[in-house]
Amino acid sequence: MKKTMIQYFEWDLPADRTLYKKLTNEASSLARTGFNMVWMPPATKGAGGVFDVGYGAYDLYDLGEFNQKGSRSTKYGTKAQYLRAIGALQHKQIDVIADVVLNHKMGGDTLEDAIASTVIRYDRNEVQEGTHPVKTWTGFTFAERNNTYSSFQWTWRHFTGTDYNAATGQNDILLFENKRWNDRVSHENGNYDFIMGCDVDFTNPDVLSELYTWGRWYTQLTGINGFRLDAVKNIDSSFFKCWLEEMHRTGNHPDFAVGEFWTGDLWELKQYLKDCDYCMRLMDVPLHYELQRASMSNGTYDIRHLFLNTLSRTDPHHACAFVDNHDTQPGQSLESWVLDWFKTAAYASILLYRCECPCVFYGDYYGLPSSGREPVHNLREMVWIRSHLLSDNMLDLFDEDRQKACWMAYGPHPVVVIYTIADWKEKVFTEPNYAGYRMVDVMDPSHVETFDAQGTIRVTCRPGCASVYILEKDYARMKKELEKAVPKRGRKTKRI
């Protein structure tokens, strides 16, 4: 079965605590459409309470259960609603991928006195100011949880550094006395152990014990099927192999993991995979940047080489392809949006070609009201085609035209894709086994082409557009099944 994941959140969702309910209601629709993996947002309470997307990690044991940071619920709902959504997805044979944020903590409960050095922001190996007294929000007591599930309380000794000195009101990067940044991390900014908040010290044995204890508790309680691991470039590369092996021993024995190592440098991704002993997939950030470049090139990009320097080409078994996500959407820190005109072609490239584990972004599937973006044209149809029709036998139909991409998935349910980053394009080819077959362009159903008696066909696409051709009978089946996949809404009461 082909993997097809959806990232089921975006950064600007309203803080109305309804996402888990929506996901529960749409489990059947997602399954019918063809998704078999759902990446859910971080479930733990963030420092911003209901306004926290989940990456300002505060209390890993609070899944929307305790009255902390202004509410019991997280931005997405309560613990009970979270567990209900997981059950609804798994009932439809959809694997649940949990977003886990272990690198840092934010929103400390108490100030502590400590000694630290100030390091240069863009070269963390260089000291700007030697050791001096500081006051830091590094005491995490979780008073409202009152030791439920765990009595572990965090102090500055459990962190390598932090980014705020309350004594001066300065946002400096502080390295605590007798601590050193971990060497087994990205070398961006000299050393990228620190990213934000209170940086968890992965060399502290008490910290490691607690992270294993929490992981076992969480995995058993939720029964999730896998992990999306946040900010792995900032975490000791030796940590996850053993941690994931331990998590696999419990609960539903989760056997899937994908890490976020944000870099456009393919070599860095390959090196990290080697360093962590290939214990996870990595998000294919280089491919994302190639898609963005293609969308911004005004037709000058050589689309035939889209995958050349990507993880999806060089190590497909350890790659997770995506077009955009919550960090790249407009207004975010890593904004690098693939332009809207190219989105359909971009998704055709990851869903209908050779990518083993593509991920669809919530904001592309449902739209982004905050920035006026509509759902990507025919994205649901492409997900369905991947799930129900697409074979692994790909026949490349690229030629000397650098502005045109074209291929066919060969099999009992042929799929032909052609798209252009410039003007109108066509491709003529012959496949005798399909002689007489009628093909419908999913993007424009009035556009029908037929393999002639010799098996020759001419497929075309409009300027700056994509065409996806499938058999006429497959198109009829798809329409019928996608109509059934529309989520059922509550009946409206007729007003008299």
Catalytic residues: 230, 260
Nearest residue to 82 (alpha-carbon basis) of 52, 26, 41, 51: 41
Show the DSSP H helices in 277-322 as ranges. Answer: 285-296, 311-314
Nearest residue to 294 (alpha-carbon basis) of 420, 418, 400: 420
What does the alpha-carbon distance between residue 199 and residue 272 come to, in Å, rounded to a whole number?
20
Bridge partners, residue 139, by sequence: 110
Judged on CB neighbours under 10 Å (0-12, 13-18, 19+), 351 is buried
**Residue 452: how many CB atoms within 10 A of its CB?**
13
Which helix (DSSP H) or strand (DSSP E) does residue 214 occupy? helix 205-222
Residues 128, 131, 134, 139, Cα dihedral to 10°:
110
Backbone angles phi, psi at 309, to 5 degrees: -110, 55
Bridge partners, residue 88, by sequence: none
What does the alpha-carbon distance between residue 472 and residue 449 come to, in Å, rounded to a whole number?
10
| Helix 472-484 / helix 19-33 crossing angle, nearest 10 deg | 160
Residues 358, 363, 367, 368, Cα dihedral to 10°:
-160
Q: Is 373 helix (H, G, I), strand (E, B) or coil?
A: strand
**Residue 250: how many CB atoms within 10 A of its CB?**
15
Nearest residue to 450 (alpha-carbon basis) of 390, 441, 442, 423: 441
Q: How many CA atoms lie within 13 A of 335 on its CB side?
A: 8
Q: Per-residue DSSP letters for 455-484? A: SEEEEEE-TT-EEEEEEHHHHHHHHHHHHH
79 and 63 in contact (C-beta within 8 Å)?
yes
| Helix 239-248 / helix 205-222 crossing angle, nearest 10 deg | 40
What does the alpha-carbon distance between residue 335 and residue 320 come to, in Å, rounded to a whole number?
19
Residues 6+ apart with CB under 8 A from 73: 17, 50, 64
E strands along 359-424, which residues? 359-361, 394-396, 404-409, 415-420
What does the alpha-carbon distance between residue 103 and residue 211 come to, in Å, rounded to a whole number?
11
Structure tokens that stand for 21 in this block: 């309910």
